[in-house]
Each structure stands twice: as structure tokens, then as C-alpha cells.
Structure 1
Amino acid sequence: MNVSQEPPRKEAPWMAGIRAAKANIVPALIVQAVMLTVVLLYYFYPPTRDLLDQLAQVKERMGYGYSALAAVIAGGFVPEIMRIIVFQKGKVIRQNFANLLFTVPFWGFSGVVVDLFYRFQEQWFGAEVTVGVVVAKVLVDQFVFNPFWAAPTGAWGYDLKNSGYNFKGIGRFFTLKYYRDVIVPILFATWGVWIPLVAIVYSLPSLLQIPLFALALAMWVMLFTWINEARMEEK
């Protein structure tokens, strides 16, 4: 007797993101704990406040240049140096330079965009550090800016890089299928990490938000790089 079998159901896109979030929960908690410690030290330990206030003055003088440089170091150079030291045993290869040719402009531009977005947030909601202001900024950050800009541009950029900058078929980036299959999992994977992180970032004065964002980005990218490289070695 033939028994018909239903084809296996395709996994919902958000389930991949939830799995990724669960897999990265330990590094996420580490980054969040470090960031929370920095904020607490700023408010309750005067030497830390003095040090961070000096950093804020540097940010004020450099403006968008600081944001671009900080993001390039955090998202570009830090993970590449880590890759060379830990996974390539100190050996520099051509691929490292190829990676930087992408990550330097990508993260430099991203840093400027984030700085501009933070400035808009301040105009919309104010610079006061209150529960209402912080909550409003977090909601717009993670449920408007992230799904409509940060997650899509990140996915497009890295997919284009990984395809060898092949622009053929780039139209798929702007389809609902691509958003559902690629971007939705990214959103679910990052919300668990970045919702607490941006809440911490917005709990500091405006001039310290980009430096703290860069610190969070550097730590997260280092841990993310470690996880990915370790998984590739296992394969």
C-alpha cells in the first residue's frame, strides 16, 4: 500500500533568526554586561566619567569624522586583526586586504549614517536621559531604522561582497522573498542582542552615544568573527 507523504514544511524565516540568537546568547550577554558596566561606572565612578567626558570632547571636535573612524576600526580593522592573530596564526594573506577594501568604506559610511540618525533622534525626542525618551529612541532604532535600513543594507553589502561583486541578479535584493528569507532572520537574530545594547547606549549623553556604539560594535564583531571562524574550522 502506498502511503502518500506530505512534503516537509519549510521553516519559518524567523525561526532561523531565533536559533541564531539562542546560539549567540552567551557572547551577547557578555557584550551587554560590559556595556552596562561602562554606563554604571560613568554615573557612579567619577574617574570613569572624567575619561569618557574627554572622549566626548574628541567626538565633538571631530564630528562625523570620529563616527566614521570609530566604525571603521570597530567593524573593519578589529575583526580582521583578530582573524589574522587567532585563525591565521599571525600570517597576513591577500584575502585580509580584500576584506578591508569592503569593510573600511562600508563601516565608515555606516558610522556616519548612525551618527546622523542619532542626531535626528535627539531632535525628535530630546537629549534628556529619561525612561520615556530612551524607550522611544529604542523603538524607532530597532523597529524602524533597523528593518528599513540597517539590516537590509548590511545584508545587501555582505551578499554582494560574497558573490565577488557580481551585480547580475541584484534585483533580488528588493523582493519580498529576499526580505523574508534573508533579512527577517537577521532581524530576529539581532534584536535579542541590540535592543538591550541600544537601550544602554541611549542612557548616556548624546556625545558619548557614538563612542559607546563603537565599543559595542567592536566587541560584538570580535565575538561574531570568533564564532563564525570556529564553525568554519569545524566543517
Structure 2
Amino acid sequence: MSDSPSSLRVSLRAARANLAPGLALQVFAGALVAAYFVHAPARAALDTLAAYRERVGLPFALVSTALFGGLLPTLVLRLMPASPGQRQDGWQVAALTLFWAYKGWEVSFFYGVLAHFVGESRDFATIATKTFIDQCVYSPFFTVPCAWCFYRWVENHFAFAPVLAELRRPGWFSGLLPLQIAGWGVWVPAVAIIFQLPTSLQLPLQNLVCCFYTLLVACLTRPVAIK
């Protein structure tokens, strides 16, 4: 069972390990948003993408998020060293791909709700409110617990008993701490950048960040030996 000190050590270790790639990701996302507002060809290309997304509708959200959240991270993980018990089989890959396809609909819907009720302005108050709701309500109370449970279920080869056993243990939620802290390190600056874009372009940029985040989820939901 993970206790709080062990979970905190895992969280800090994950944060340190992912600091450089996380910063590179934020710089890339920031540069992409800046290019949208100051570089006409970049804006035209992104507007074309936004128009395509609007024309295609829901299938765009499902397929693109399944690709960036499910298939691409799986291919990356297959190139990394893993013990036989950690190697994902075809059913696990399919389950994770379907999970992220669903998340594409969920995130698209969530961003639309935020745009409707909070607004689409790029002023500080609007961006801060959206970021707070996303990272202090939606993430810790829904996204992270659901992702943790689903990934643990998949890693246990679709057996419910081990996951339920973990949920019954006192302090089981401390196991979410590494995932949440690592997630905040990626998503707090990322969503503040994402919400600068028009709503129709927020999901595509979210998917780029999602690819990196999914690798974190896959690593942090596997059993880890604490030293």
C-alpha cells in the first residue's frame, strides 16, 4: 500500500524527471499560440484546421484524441524497456484507445461548456477562471481518479478484484498524488495557454499535450518500487 510519504517521494521524483520535457512542451505550445496571433500563415493554417474540425464534428474529437492519447503513446512505450508483465497486449491497447476516444468527446464537451458559461475572452479573469475550474475541480475530482482506476484496471488485465482491493484500503487516494502533481506540472501552464485559442482550436492543442501526459499516466499507474 502506498503511504503519503512514499507517494510524495514518487510525486517529487516524477516532477523532477519530467521537468525538462514538460518545459519544452510548454514552450512549444506557447510558441504555437503566439504564432497564431502574430504570424499570418500560421494563423491561416490553424484556421483551416479549425474549419475542418467544425466540418467533421464529433469524429474529429474521437479519432484525434484516440490517436494522440492512445495509439501514439502506446507506440512510444513499446520502444521503451519493459518487463514481460508490463508489455501491453492488443486488448489493452484497444481498451486504452477507446478510453481516449471517449475522452476526446468529454474534453470537447467540457471546453464547450466553459466557453458557454465562462466566456471566450482572453482577459486574465476569464483564463484564470477556466484554468481554476479545469485544474482544481475537473482534474482532481473526476479526470485523475477516473484515469487512475481505468489504467489500473487495464494494467491488471481487466480484472476488477485488484482495483477494488486497492480502493478498499485506507488511504488509497494517496496513490493518486503522484499522478495529480505530475498532471498539474503539465496541465496548469498548458491549459492557461490552450484557453488563449478559439474554442475550436483548443482540442487540437490539448491533444498534443495529451500525448506527453498519457505517457506520464502509463508510467505512474504501474507498480513502482519505492526506494
1:72 aligns with 2:66: yes
Q: Residue 17 of structure 1: which of 11, 14, 28 is its match?
A: 11
Work out whether residues 14 and 188 of structure 1, in 8 Å CA contact, stay in contact via their aligned partners in 2.
Answer: no
Partner of 2:52: 58
Partner of 1:185: 178
Distance, in Å, in 1 between the alignment partners of 2:210 and 2:95 is: 17
Counterpart of 2:161 in 1: which secondary structure?
Answer: coil
Amino acid at match of 2:113: F
Are residues 41 and 97 of structure 1, via their aligned partners in 2, closer, same or farther at CA, if it must alter by over 3 Å? same
Question: 1:53-202 to 2 correspondence within 5 Å?
Answer: 53-84=47-78, 86-87=79-80, 95-171=88-164, 172-173=166-167, 177-179=171-173, 181-202=174-195
Counterpart of 1:41 in 2: which secondary structure?
Answer: helix
Deviation per CA, 1:67-99: give whole Å up to 9, x if none. 111110101111233345x448xxxxx945233
Percent identical residues: 27
**Structure 1 runs, 4 residues or longer, greater than 6 Å off:** 225-228
Partner of 1:217: 210
Work out whether residues 76 and 100 of structure 1, in 8 Å CA contact, stay in contact via their aligned partners in 2.
Answer: yes
The Cα of 1:104 is off from its aligned counterpart by 1.1
Report the count of equivalent residues: 213
Amino acid at match of 2:188: I
Are residues 147 and 83 of structure 1, via their aligned partners in 2, closer, same or farther at CA, if it must alter by over 3 Å? closer
Distance, in Å, in 1 between the alignment partners of 2:193 and 2:9 is: 27
Which of structures 1 and 2 has the bigger CA Rg?
1
TM-score for the superposition, normalised by structure 1: 0.81
Work out whether residues 129 and 205 of structure 1, in 8 Å CA contact, stay in contact via their aligned partners in 2.
Answer: no
Counterpart of 1:168 in 2: which secondary structure?
Answer: helix
Work out whether residues 83 and 225 of structure 1, in 8 Å CA contact, stay in contact via their aligned partners in 2.
Answer: no
Are residues 123 and 175 of structure 1, via their aligned partners in 2, closer, same or farther at CA, if it must alter by over 3 Å? farther
